[in-house]
Amino acid sequence: MRLAKNLLSSGFIDAVEISKDVSMMEIEVRDEWVGKTLMELNLRAKYSLNVVAIIQNKKIETYIDPTVPLTKEMTLVVIANISKINKLREV
């Protein structure tokens, strides 16, 4: 079931349902996010996403500097309410 959901979710690499309402997901950095910082993107306000880690070069970094520009090589690990994640999928 988890694999099927992940394959159907474009831009989403992996997902773990924490509860029926909350998921933790790995998401690709979208083209329109490249070169922008987490502060500029304000993902928490726009999509209710909380970035808990960034994966880059197979290394997971949990201390996140919100002023560092994102690159296409980064993967964001986010936690959010499932209904809010669906809002991001629609964009």
CATH no. for residue 82?
Answer: 3.30.70.1450
Strand ordering across the sheet containing 22-28? 12-17, 22-28, 75-81, 50-56, 59-61
Which domain, by its residues, includes 78? 2-90
pLDDT of 89 reads 60
12-54 pLDDT tens trace: 666 777 788 888 888 889 999 999 999 999 999 888 889 999 9
Residue in the block written with tokens 């997901």: 25
The answer on pLDDT for 67 being more than 60 is yes
Number of domains present in the structure of the chain: 1
Asked whether the beta carbons of 38 and 46 are under 8 A apart, the reply is no
